[in-house]
Structure 1
């Protein structure tokens, strides 16, 4: 189980998010989405050090406000956000697969920009082709993620790391753990791909608030 704030979440790598329907249908394994390189991971990840906190300066937290849109200019993401809850099994629900340019945020948790860990998730593909976070694994440290909020402000985050995890070794605390400053996680499917099982893990972007406007 995953804990975000005061709410427990089962595995985010839900089957509905990670089947790889397009690759399965088209036999396009050679066109699998990009995966992050070791250079984009947190420094010291393999040594057991807790290096999640970037040395880059942060910005003051914003008041709570629901988000409407996420933009990641370097990988051409510009997508509306829909609220996500939990399934009866306790896992994070997913956006409708048919809407390829749609991401979701966990609306029972932290809103992007306020103190804590905000969660955004989206499909890597659907039955028709690439979806909103197909290129998430190509994101680099230092890239900008912008979130439009309903109070009219834009929360600006800087990427600290991009990592891929196998589902069986998903690091709950690293990804979902409470944060003392405004942080953001952007999650999609990734890792190895098999025609029989679909994607076998997740790509996770770690970012922290560095500005607003």
Structure 2
């Protein structure tokens, strides 16, 4: 059985993998003006790339927007501590926007401060319950901490509301296969993921392996 990479896939679908997390967050903010419903929505990219845009209804002033963009650039450059300083200011001024909480949580994970990361992800999920990106990040954090049952619950709740958010499907499949010994769950999630992401040949290999193990 090959080792599955359970890193958040929503950061690796575009041609420039390091920028995907930033892309999702920035698009989540700048696309919000066109959204009237409360809470996030997930839409396919329309410019030829594979991935998603997360849209919600945030409120962020111009100064906070600029600092948010600078923080994203710092994270992409590996300057996570500096990004945390900027994102803290953004959160202080715009406490109702989920993206800064998610990004600062990612920065805290990268610097080994997982308790602070969990606090900020919980805050994001308090603002928008079952937010797919926040849920994916939180479930990954729980998995890394050995809290597998909780991670599964987070994935399943997010996918109930956002069934097309494929990164969570892939990561739930990995969780079920490698950590929960539930190959049937893993196969189901990988098959659903593969329907939406047929170019991912690695997952097709995992599907074939699981079918052999299950005798299907």
TM over 0.5: no
Q: Please say which structure displays the higher CA radius of gyration.
A: 2
Higher relative contact order (CA 8 A, sep 6+): 1
Q: TM-score of the superposition, structure 1-length normalised? A: 0.26
**With structure 2 as the length reference, what TM-score do the two structures score?**
0.25
The answer to which structure has the higher helix fraction is 2
Greater strand share, 1 or 2?
1
